[in-house]
Amino acid sequence: MSQNLDPADDIVAYNRAAWNSQVRKRNRWTIPVSPEEIERARKDDWRIVLTPEKSVPNTWFPDFRASSIEVLCLAGSGGQQAPILAAAGAHVTVLDNSPAQLAQDQLVADREGLAIKLVLGDMADLSAFANASFDLIVHPCSNCFVPNVLPVWKEAARVMKPGANLLSGIVSPIVYLFDDQLLEKGEFKVCHRIPYSDLTSLSSEQRQAFRDDDEPFCFGHTLTDQVGGQIDAGLAITGLFEDCWSDWPISEYIPTFIATKATKGK
Ligand SMILES: C[S@@+](CC[C@H](N)C(=O)[O-])C[C@H]1O[C@@H](n2cnc3c(N)ncnc32)[C@H](O)[C@@H]1O
């Protein structure tokens, strides 16, 4: 299914169809967890990622068994984090822009008898939720699919309870600097500026190739928007680690992902 999209068109609608298509193509980030992983999570032996390789430290999570913990998986569908957290004892809501990705969470919920609330929506608009609804927000690498990340942080901070944490995966802007085609041959040629947008930085032929393959369009945000944006939304950065995706040649030289923990004051 190929779509036509000009920069002025609706990126939320385009990326929704593109992610639906990624599910059909079995993209890594659309593959649900196994029954064995759920079984282990029920016994409190579990891990989740926000970035490709490193697990989130256990110390970043509250005790899901001690009290009723409301978790929002923000733009985090795909049958991965949400069912693990539900099996670990959290009350989980998932908001995502792709019905096919949400269906992956429903599939695991049905298979495992887990309760997960599914909400179709845009991460920049959390009007489906009241102020101070969640104890924890888990936001895996997905804000690279929106042109402006600042409303995401603002909305996340609004729906967090006092003392709640926001755990986010961030793609480092450095990955957007280089010519993609040369990168595949191991050559690093800087040719893009940050902030980066597939819509304005790629040639019309390259954008057409994305459309033909139903590839989502991406955006590379500055660290001012990614980290400063969380602080400006009223949160304090209380944890950070870096990660890599070993498949990417640049990972040999510098970490390409950042995970942050941000805390709302009490
Ligand atoms: C790389 S996947 C992340 C989910 C995955 N479970 C993980 O571990 O990273 C990116 C997700 O962002 C979602 N997404 C893209 N644009 C969105 C938007 N504007 N609002 C909400 N979700 C969005 C996609 O539908 C997709 O499920």
- On whether the CB atoms of residues 230 and 149 are closer than 8 A, the answer is no
- Nearest atom (ligand 1) to Cα of 78: 6
Residue 138 CB less than 6 A away from ligand 1: no
Residue that the structure tokens 């998986």 belong to:
73
What the block records as the tokens of 7 is 């920069």
* pLDDT tens per residue, range 26-85: 999 999 999 999 999 999 999 999 999 999 999 999 999 988 999 999 999 999 999 999
Distance from the CA of 134 to the center of ligand 1, in angstroms?
19
Residue whose Cα lies nearest atom 10 of ligand 1: it is 142
- Nearest atom (ligand 1) to Cα of 19: 25
Distance from the CA of 253 to the center of ligand 1, in angstroms?
27
- Residue 23 confidence (pLDDT) above 50: yes
Residue 104 CB less than 6 A away from ligand 1: no
Q: CA-CA distance, 192 to 177, in Å (whole number)? A: 5
Distance from the CA of 44 to the center of ligand 1, in angstroms?
26
Q: Would you list the domain boundaries of the chain?
A: 11-174+222-264
The confidence score (pLDDT) of residue 6 equals 54
Q: CA-CA distance, 144 to 218, in Å (whole number)? A: 5
Percent residues over pLDDT 70 in the chain:
97
Residue 195 CB less than 6 A away from ligand 1: no
What the block records as the tokens of 243 is 């990660």
Distance from the CA of 175 to the center of ligand 1, in angstroms?
18
- Nearest atom (ligand 1) to Cα of 81: 6
Terminal-to-terminal C-alpha distance of the chain: 48
Residue whose Cα lies nearest atom 3 of ligand 1: it is 76
The confidence score (pLDDT) of residue 186 equals 84
* pLDDT tens per residue, range 155-208: 999 999 999 999 999 999 999 999 988 888 889 999 999 999 999 999 899 899
Distance from the CA of 234 to the center of ligand 1, in angstroms?
24
Residue 21 CB less than 6 A away from ligand 1: no
Q: Average pLDDT of 215-244?
A: 98
Q: Average pLDDT of 225-249?
A: 96
What the block records as the tokens of 2 is 């190929």
Residue 176 CB less than 6 A away from ligand 1: no
Distance from the CA of 71 to the center of ligand 1, in angstroms?
16
Task: Specify the pTM.
Answer: 0.96
What's the CATH code, domain 11-174+222-264? Answer: 3.40.50.150
Q: CA-CA distance, 36 to 142, in Å (whole number)? A: 26
